[in-house]
Structure 1
């Protein structure tokens, strides 16, 4: 914990405000009848702070805090009746609250927010029932008095309901607020927020979400029990009435109204809870009605809470004052000032760091990875390639311990230690770092905090090291910004910086080049070379082969969960098995019809699209003519699914125009099928028809036609659940669901994904029949040869650009398409346009 002047000043505000308030109380400025309300507001502030920080930092909404509140109050009552010291009562209540909170937090971490709320609800219900039945201790419905508690430290004797108790409540609240301020700037808060924001990514940097939930709930429960002791002393009498479930709901309302996760918001919430009865009396309405109205108004007009709403203008003004005149985010130099140059490339050698033998990962009956074996030496960069669904990410997940419910078999050693039995958090400590395909950053933390949360305790040395690390990857200028304010390329750098923060011996990179432009990819390649030069082994998967091969020493190829080839970057694609895994093979079974129409169904002009700064498509020109089977081929990440959404009309392009030749109905069978698996086959078809406005007689006629298109084994099982079908059967149902609306253009995204070859042939045979019936089909396919064998025209996408377009029967175009598929750069816009102009089908 670093205590700077600003932090100390903010922490001192609570005690200063408490001292001023107690001075007013002592001077008589606050009427005697209001002194109790002031003390009660202080007690409620502690409880609201406990609930609000638990929700804001850990994402846990609890309705169990009335039980903790009651436990503390009854500790005070029991201690006063058995001559316990004040310190003994406080320690006993705090320890009990911490133990129960730790249990609830650990148990609740396995469930969703709803189930955690139900768990805490059950805890409160059981506690209140025990209070009512354990009358020998609690007094049951009649309650029990708090007579007096003497201090063992010579602080005097506190009488229940005395003025001294009111001063104690105010002073205690001031101290708790003072402690909350540095806690908000601590590594504890960062790790809690990280575990809440992205549990999977948190595990890769050594943060166990279950442990963080248990810790945060323990602290929250302890603070609430302490507030309960204060309440017992303040009121002088304890009964079950103040601890009802209604009070639990009121606590949540107070947190929301004040501002969830804010320290000052807890004060506002405590004041609201105290004076809500007076407000209700003043307006002549019951308390629940007033509370509901206030909460509704707050959610509608101040959704972030009163305190954040008032603080926002001040913060905005401060930012305007401090804002730099240049808003450009500077790009870092190609070399890191503190590391070896990017072109440093020591000889690959040294002992074997990682060794996998016959590793398999299965999910039920699906084998995502099968019999994978590899070895990796220190100072080696290993590239793993393969088409989508080949098992690459499963391999990385097996290395980093993120296989979830998958069953892992085989053996793996890392640095001479067994790896597969270690948890993901333990693998981080062993020296394995991990990045993610989509830059899974912690959105509620700043850029600097995203990296700092890798430390348990944050010292001045840690902050200096993180500052140097951020500077080396070009993020120093945005260290205090949230990741959501940054373009995707900088988020990728942040993901890499967080993985590098632990100085791993092995860095696992999942598609680091995906979504980046050429300059950003070159910069990232330089970082990988510097890591290698510094002695870090790297395993990297990607579909951008040019950049991937530029940093790799060795390449391993996967398909269908198996290793199919291995070699150096300049030889691996020469392997026929590796090449066919990308391009596919032609079996000649399906052919499109020879004659098609000339009417333009859908036309795209200069279409481009981005996702949060990630360029998915650039200047796409495409013409889908009536009766044509148009193939869109490209590797994973090329932009095919984005193009499918734009062609379908469900996704509006960020740039360019989409035109249709009159009234054209399009239908999309999306990648992954997206079936309603709990519904029957018939219900899946009916839902699509209803969404298109088809019902009654028209629905029955359309249903009969669509069912007839399905194979007999599906026609006879229309009442069966869609989740019980095989992959190929699900794909045919997904296409049938798209057909039931009677489309003019059918768009099918990756119909062969995850299917066995025999099922692929069956799906494509049925698509060919649709084309022969005159339906216009747009087929998005990973395998180039498959698209070339079943389509009239083929457009090859590479990094969001139509790199080649032409007719499959043209031998010159076939060579051009293959080059464009892998590198894109070999197919110029002029050549692609010429190919497109010569691809007219008669």
Structure 2
């Protein structure tokens, strides 16, 4: 923790406000009958703060805090009856709350928000029942008095219900608020928020979500028990009534009202809880009714809470005053220079060795018998089609295989790796990035990197500032990731992985979603990492950029290693090449159709996601009776194109035209079945959504069921989740057919299927085409598209890079070049059909 002047000034606000309030109390400016309310507001502030920060920083909503409140109060009562010193009562209550809170936090970390709430609810019910039954200690329903607590340190004696108790409550609340301010700026808060925002990514930087939940719940419960001791002293009497379940709901309402996770909001919530009875009396309504109305209004009109709503314009004014007029993002000096060439590895010693590593999930073998060696200071590229097992390999390296069964051996820097926890692998020196830039959205850019440290010093902040400057993020260090384009989010993901100088950096599709200039910058970063002595394992589908930074390439398919070699030779391996392009199996294409009617026409279509360009200037014409194949590697933009063709995804640019009365259906990638519904119910839901009802529904259902294979016709009442992958794919296609479409779009029908099932699915699709249905087939394997389609368009990085007829010998070479590199070096195909696509 770095204590600068600004932080110390903000931390001093709580004690200063408490001191001023106590001066007013002592001077008589606050009436005597209001002194108790002031002390009660201070106590409630501590409780609301503990509940609100637990929810805001850790994402845990607790209904169990009335029980901790009661534990503290009864500690005060028991201590006063047995002549315990005040310090012993406070320490005992705080320790008990911390232990119980740590247990609840650890036990609840593996559950959803709902189940954590139920767990804390059960804890409150058990505690209240114990209070009622343990009458020898608690007095049962009759309660028990708090007489006095003397200080063992000679600070005097506090009588239950006395003025001293009111001063003690205000002073204790001021101290708690003062401690909360540096906590909000500490690495503890950053790590708690990181674990809440993205538990999987948090593990890769050494943060264990279970430990963070346990720690945060322990601190929150300890503070609430302290507040309970103060309540016992303030009231002079403890009974079960103030600790009911309705009080737990009131606490949550107060947190939401003030602003979840804000310190000033806790003060507002404490004041609200104190004066809610007076407000209810003033309006003549019961307290629950007033509380419910206030909460509804806040949720509808001020969902962030009163304090954040009022503070937002003030922060905006301050930001405008402090920010420089020019907020453009200049590139670092080293990025404006030409990238340095890739140097060969300088150390032949082995850093990482994997032998016969396999990962399975139930009956699915995601990785099988993988073996590799990685030298010190070497960059190893891993390639393969979608589903080949590449990400599973990276997950095995970083310990993120979840419930997968891992076998084999792996050694990293001479130490066994596979049995090491994911959080400990960061300390071994392994950094990890993710395909979609899994950043911590609730932290700033600088905090996303700082949270890799347990304790943050001035040197840490300086190191992070230098790191952000090196990747071009210094100008946005105080912004949230959601305010940045995707390219800068990718840089942030890389910077977080680079923090603490890892020995091995594992990069999952770092080039995906970036434009040419951003990919060039990233390649420069990877070369600089290599020059600094870091070994890198990187997977990607953008082969040109990937090969430009790799010393060696390892190819995977179906979870197995199928080839290895230098970047300029590995694609010459027939096995590697066919894993991307597939092999022609002799399947006959549907008979030619001469229909020229356009069913769907795209002109100048472009689309993106948060700065990621998925499609650029796409022209495409889907003609009646044609089977059109769209082939491309993973990430080429096929699924986005499928959504645009279907009409369910409006394009950002360009024009989509569909023929009058043309009905279009989509069988999406991954099938997206309702797995708890039966086969028949899946079909009926799709029919209802398409407006097919009554007699027409019965007719279509009968025709569609007849299209399915016999083994599915006999199981129409079985849940869809019990089907095999191939059976699910056929059901997904049948669901798209139930509305009687004129155009059927099928996205990756072979994904995850065994070869025999692939053949069955494609035979049925070919049969539909023979019956005259217009089909758009989005396929990863080029050869499969070439063997079953009338026309094929090759999509590369969102651009239609080639378009022609598979029967044209010249087109095959052009399509292959376009698949891997965009085909910019290939000559236009003169024999292609009327060109509705163009190379960009």
**TM-score range, shorter-chain basis?**
over 0.9
Deviation at 1:221, TM superposition (A): 0.3
Output the aligned Cα RMSD: 1.4
Q: 1:709 aligns with which of 699, 707, 710?
A: 707
Tell me the residue number matched to 1:544. Answer: 542
For residues 730 and 265 of structure 1, the distance between their equivalents in structure 2, rounded to whole angstroms, comes to 51
Tell me the residue number matched to 1:693. Answer: 691
Contact 2:808 2:831 in 1 (8 A): no
Tell me the residue number matched to 1:118. Answer: 118
SS at match of 2:93: helix
For residues 114 and 382 of structure 1, the distance between their equivalents in structure 2, rounded to whole angstroms, comes to 43
Matched, 1:43 2:43: yes
For residues 137 and 716 of structure 1, the distance between their equivalents in structure 2, rounded to whole angstroms, comes to 67
For residues 586 and 475 of structure 2, the distance between their equivalents in structure 1, rounded to whole angstroms, comes to 57
Contact 2:632 2:819 in 1 (8 A): yes
For residues 240 and 620 of structure 2, the distance between their equivalents in structure 1, rounded to whole angstroms, comes to 72
Bigger Cα displacement from structure 2, 264-273 vs 807-816? 807-816
Matched, 1:534 2:516: no
Tell me the residue number matched to 2:408. Answer: 410
Deviation at 1:331, TM superposition (A): 2.8
Q: 1:729 to 1:230 in 2, by over 3 A?
A: same
SS at match of 2:828: helix
For residues 182 and 403 of structure 1, the distance between their equivalents in structure 2, rounded to whole angstroms, comes to 36
SS at match of 1:117: helix
Tell me the residue number matched to 1:85. Answer: 85
Q: Deviations over 1:23-43 (max 9, x none)?
A: 110111110000000000000
Alignment of 1:672-683 (within 5 A): 672-683=670-681
Contact 1:158 1:165 in 2 (8 A): yes
Deviation at 1:707, TM superposition (A): 0.5
Q: 1:633 to 1:334 in 2, by over 3 A?
A: farther
Tell me the residue number matched to 2:716. Answer: 718
Q: 1:751 aligns with which of 745, 749, 752?
A: 749
Tell me the residue number matched to 1:821. Answer: 819
Q: 2:621 aligns with which of 614, 623, 629?
A: 623
SS at match of 1:805: strand
Q: Gaps (5+ residues) in structure 2? A: none
SS at match of 2:717: coil
Tell me the residue number matched to 1:796. Answer: 794
Contact 2:344 2:551 in 1 (8 A): no
Tell me the residue number matched to 1:155. Answer: 155
Deviation at 1:319, TM superposition (A): 1.9
For residues 777 and 618 of structure 1, the distance between their equivalents in structure 2, rounded to whole angstroms, comes to 23
For residues 414 and 821 of structure 1, the distance between their equivalents in structure 2, rounded to whole angstroms, comes to 36
Deviation at 1:525, TM superposition (A): 0.5
Contact 1:586 1:785 in 2 (8 A): yes
Deviation at 1:322, TM superposition (A): 2.8
Matched, 1:601 2:562: no
Q: 1:104 to 1:755 in 2, by over 3 A?
A: same
For residues 45 and 738 of structure 2, the distance between their equivalents in structure 1, rounded to whole angstroms, comes to 59
Deviation at 1:461, TM superposition (A): 0.3
Q: 1:63 to 1:727 in 2, by over 3 A?
A: same
Deviation at 1:595, TM superposition (A): 1.9
SS at match of 1:766: helix
For residues 138 and 755 of structure 1, the distance between their equivalents in structure 2, rounded to whole angstroms, comes to 65
Tell me the residue number matched to 2:387. Answer: 389
TM-score, length-normalised on structure 1? 0.98
For residues 250 and 437 of structure 2, the distance between their equivalents in structure 1, rounded to whole angstroms, comes to 38
Deviation at 1:344, TM superposition (A): 5.7
For residues 823 and 810 of structure 2, the distance between their equivalents in structure 1, rounded to whole angstroms, comes to 16
Deviation at 1:342, TM superposition (A): 3.5
For residues 331 and 835 of structure 2, the distance between their equivalents in structure 1, rounded to whole angstroms, comes to 43
Matched, 1:769 2:767: yes
Tell me the residue number matched to 2:828. Answer: 831
Tell me the residue number matched to 2:551. Answer: 553
Tell me the residue number matched to 1:101. Answer: 101
SS at match of 1:502: coil
Tell me the residue number matched to 1:280. Answer: 280
Q: 2:682 aligns with which of 662, 681, 684?
A: 684
For residues 336 and 447 of structure 1, the distance between their equivalents in structure 2, rounded to whole angstroms, comes to 22
Contact 1:334 1:342 in 2 (8 A): no
Tell me the residue number matched to 1:191. Answer: 191
Tell me the residue number matched to 2:262. Answer: 262
Deviation at 1:326, TM superposition (A): 2.4
SS at match of 1:617: strand
TM-score, length-normalised on structure 2? 0.98
Deviation at 1:760, TM superposition (A): 0.7
Matched, 1:484 2:470: no
For residues 51 and 70 of structure 2, the distance between their equivalents in structure 1, rounded to whole angstroms, comes to 15
Deviation at 1:837, TM superposition (A): 2.6
For residues 549 and 344 of structure 2, the distance between their equivalents in structure 1, rounded to whole angstroms, comes to 13
For residues 167 and 299 of structure 2, the distance between their equivalents in structure 1, rounded to whole angstroms, comes to 34
Matched, 1:317 2:317: yes
Contact 2:443 2:480 in 1 (8 A): yes
For residues 839 and 583 of structure 1, the distance between their equivalents in structure 2, rounded to whole angstroms, comes to 24
Point out 4+ residue stretches in structure 1 off by more than 6 angstroms: none
Tell me the residue number matched to 1:56. Answer: 56
Q: Deviations over 1:329-366 (max 9, x none)?
A: 223344499xx973362434331111111110000000
Q: Gaps (5+ residues) in structure 1? A: none
Q: Deviations over 1:248-299 (max 9, x none)?
A: 0000000000000000000000000000000000000000000000000001
Deviation at 1:596, TM superposition (A): 3.7
For residues 103 and 839 of structure 1, the distance between their equivalents in structure 2, rounded to whole angstroms, comes to 64
SS at match of 1:837: coil
Q: 2:581 aligns with which of 580, 583, 601?
A: 583
Q: Deviations over 1:168-193 (max 9, x none)?
A: 00010001000000000000000000
Q: Deviations over 1:580-630 (max 9, x none)?
A: 000001112241221241110100010000100000000000000111100
